[in-house]
Amino acid sequence: MDYVLVTGCAGFIGSHLAKALLSRGYSVVGVDCLTPYYSQKIKQHNLSSLLKNDKFIFVKLDLSVTSIDNLVQLVRKVNVIIHEAAQPGVRSSWGSDFEIYIRYNVLATQKLLEAIAKARSIKRFVYASSSSVYGNVREVPIKEDVYPKPYSPYGVTKLAAENLCRVYFENFGIPTVILRYFTVYGPRQRPDMAFHRFIKSMLRSEPIHIYGDGSQMRDFTYIDDVVNATIRAIEADDVINEVINVGSGSPVKLIDTVNLIADILGIEPKIVFEEEKKGDVRITYADISKARRLLGWKPRTRLKDGLEEEAKWIREAMELGLI
Query: Catalytic residue numbers?
Result: 154
Q: How many CB atoms lie within 10 A of CB 128?
A: 26
Contacts of 223 (CB under 8 A, 6+ apart): 12, 13, 16, 184, 185, 186, 187, 188, 189, 306
Backbone φ/ψ region at 205: left (φ over 0), alpha (ψ -120 to 50), beta:
left
* Strand partners of residue 56: 28
Determine the Cα–Cα distance for residues 154 and 192; give it in Å rounded to an integer: 15
Q: Which amino acid is at 98?
A: F
Contacts of 299 (CB under 8 A, 6+ apart): 221, 222, 225, 247, 248, 249, 288
The 3-state DSSP class for residue 199 equals helix
State CA 241 to chain mean position distance. 19
The 3-state DSSP class for residue 185 equals strand
Determine the Cα–Cα distance for residues 203 and 266; give it in Å rounded to an integer: 10
